[in-house]
Structure 1
């Protein structure tokens, strides 16, 4: 049994509104690194908020299965969910300064997490809080316990957010665009830190990103999302070497590379909630579109390197 099991997950804002997450299926094993990629607005973060029970009304979450470590997340009560979130299942948000409480010191926030999830108090909690800051490689960690979030740099604040996320010793860590607000040098340090922690603790890591170069370096599998749907998934690097879906192909073609004078672009825009095509959601932008693509929405089916939602997939020739 997989650590995380998601079948036919959908999120809607209004009973008659089109879904912002549309029929997502996902599996994640213990200790595995899985990446979810796609443009802004593709539903990556919303799917994870639904998993964590953080979609507020009028948002409505439905799924055939939404299970973590054998627990049915759709049926969890408030108290059971609070015990699970932050301990077994933790999240690193995209903006660390928005995730940290500006009214309390770093040390207070760490101690509170340790008290809630591990039952630590007093000197034992303070010692563990200091150890966590040292684990995330914060210099002069003891002095940072007394600091407020506004006194930290962006990279330092993200390290504190990671320390808070791992304080409960989670089995699954979700990192939602953890390096977006940081400069390039700090981005590499944060990603290296997350991967080191994942290996040391044996955690599963679910990385949400739009940076395919980062994903190619650190993930074992990838799920590509477009307009709320998973359009392709499979192992790395095989899927990036020979993508089946035209959208994945277009994302890879837009990556800057030495010697590439002009980056490829995909014309048009991602369909909104009320202008979704009848057939394939990529059909209005796809250079390979045919009549059946416009008439019917393709299912997610097995292809050479995994699963893809395409009637005319790319790179399906047998290797020589």
Structure 2
């Protein structure tokens, strides 16, 4: 049984009479000890999907799903009091932009200990000792002095390590890392990813890595979920997705990597923009931008279906040579 199972999760904003569906019928499973990468350009619904799982979509946002289970427990039907015992403890999240996620008015130690107070029985010296252990676990130098430091006194890399320490404070079984290396320099990015993967392996966590960095995904994940305009357009194991992408959008993402355009006069790009609330196509959401578009694509909406050794939301999924199969 999968550690996490999501079936047909949708998130809507706006009025009930004129809703905007930011996430549409997303299904996803993650096993214990597995790393799943979620990729896609900004606005594709990656973060909103995971925020919905965490129960962090506030009104007027509306979340629906056919199933939302963690370790066999029904998160949809669970009482709020019981759900709070799981969220932040068994399920945890590293949010984007550590500097804005940490409270500037409180010290690092206070914020770490606040997390521990909510989900453990530790108090007093034991609480401070555990907070110090967490800072040492995420390899923050001179950890004792950092307990009394405020967020503005930390570098971007240290702030990110503090966020990781807060996320793993209660030994979660499932961790969401939302762009964990945003705004960090390349050297620090590598250190943070190495730290995350080491923690994931040592504690056997299921890990969802939300990122724009396909190179990182190729190195650490076992499976990739590609999202576009609020939908999953492809799911595939690694390295299959990099060798033989089945959806035109995935192909376009990969071709935009500089390493894939060596010798070309210009970097490959996909024309157009992601459809918004008022310009969503009737058929395939990629149809206005797709180089392989056919008449059917403009009128019918494709479903996520098996395509060779992957799943793709395309009527004419690409073959091993990267060409659409018409028929």
> After the TM superposition, which residues 85-164 of structure 1 pair with which residues of structure 2 at under 5 Å, given as runs?
85-164=87-166
Provide the C-alpha distance between the structure 1 equivalents of 2:86 and 2:100, rounded to a whole number of angstroms: 22
Question: Which residue of 2 is the match for residue 208 of structure 1?
Answer: 210
Question: Which residue of 1 is the match for residue 324 of structure 2?
Answer: none
Q: Secondary structure at the match of 1:194?
A: helix
Q: Secondary structure at the match of 1:12?
A: strand
Q: Is the contact between residue 304 and residue 316 of structure 1 (CA under 8 Å) also seen in structure 2?
A: no
Question: Which residue of 1 is the match for residue 12 of structure 2?
Answer: 12
Q: Secondary structure at the match of 1:11?
A: strand
Q: Secondary structure at the match of 1:20?
A: strand
Root mean square deviation of aligned Cα: 1.3
1:288 aligns with 2:292: yes
Question: Which residue of 1 is the match for residue 34 of structure 2?
Answer: 32
Question: Which residue of 2 is the match for residue 68 of structure 1?
Answer: 70
Question: Which residue of 2 is the match for residue 314 of structure 1?
Answer: 318
Provide the C-alpha distance between the structure 1 equivalents of 2:74 and 2:131, rounded to a whole number of angstroms: 31
Count of equivalent residues: 318
Question: Which residue of 1 is the match for residue 303 of structure 2?
Answer: 299
Question: Which residue of 2 is the match for residue 229 of structure 1?
Answer: 231
Q: Is there any run of 5+ residues in structure 2 with no aligned partner, and where?
A: 322-327
Q: Is the contact between residue 303 and residue 316 of structure 1 (CA under 8 Å) also seen in structure 2?
A: no
Q: Is the contact between residue 300 and residue 308 of structure 1 (CA under 8 Å) also seen in structure 2?
A: yes
1:176 aligns with 2:167: no
Report how far residue 115 of structure 1 moved.
2.0
Q: Is there any run of 5+ residues in structure 1 with no aligned partner, and where?
A: none
TM-score w.r.t. the length of structure 2 is: 0.95
Q: Is the contact between residue 8 and residue 63 of structure 1 (CA under 8 Å) also seen in structure 2?
A: yes
1:251 aligns with 2:242: no
Provide the C-alpha distance between the structure 2 equivalents of 1:98 and 1:4, rounded to a whole number of angstroms: 28
